[in-house]
Amino acid sequence: MGEEQRRQHRIGVALEVIITGANRHGIAFEETTHSNDVSRGGCSFYTAHEISVGAELDIEIIRHLTGSQSSFLTRGLVLRAVEEAPDRMLIAVRFIGPQFPTYSSETTS
């Protein structure tokens, strides 16, 4: 999905993300990775698993705050899956569960 097609502005931030789902062969997995960018309605991240476009994933985004951490739980629909190297896929998801609470302006020019 191109930048002009996104509904919300994405913020480049590396937050800890735990992804649970099934790869394109139907084999269940859980992986801890980091976000590439995040918006209220979606995020992207790198994974070692081959995930198909259209797959649904359980997503936990962990924010480390001073002296504590908070978790945000949602589901995501895979909109884009690009193989960037062997064992390295860039995955973009749209949240189909709760929206991620962001604290920056959501408008774009």
Backbone angles phi, psi at 104, to 5 degrees: -115, 170
Domain of 66, in residue numbers:
9-95
> Residue 17 is which amino acid?
V
100 part of a folded domain = no
DSSP string, the chain: --GGG-SS--B----EEEEEEE-TTS-EEEEEEEEEEEETTEEEEEESS---TT-EEEEEEEEEETTEEEEEEEEEEEEEEEEEETTEEEEEEEESSSPP---S-----
pLDDT-derived band at 10 (thresholds 50, 70, 90) equals low
As a whole number of angstroms, the distance between CA 49 and CA 22 comes to 9
pLDDT in tens, 11-41: 667 799 999 999 999 999 999 999 999 999 9
Say what the pTM is. Answer: 0.80
As a whole number of angstroms, the distance between CA 58 and CA 60 comes to 7
107 part of a folded domain = no
Tokens 């992804």 -> residue: 19
75 part of a folded domain = yes
Q: Supply the pLDDT for residue 70.
A: 87
pLDDT in tens, 59-108: 999 988 788 888 999 999 999 999 998 889 999 999 999 888 765 444 44
- Into how many domains does the chain fold? 1
27 part of a folded domain = yes
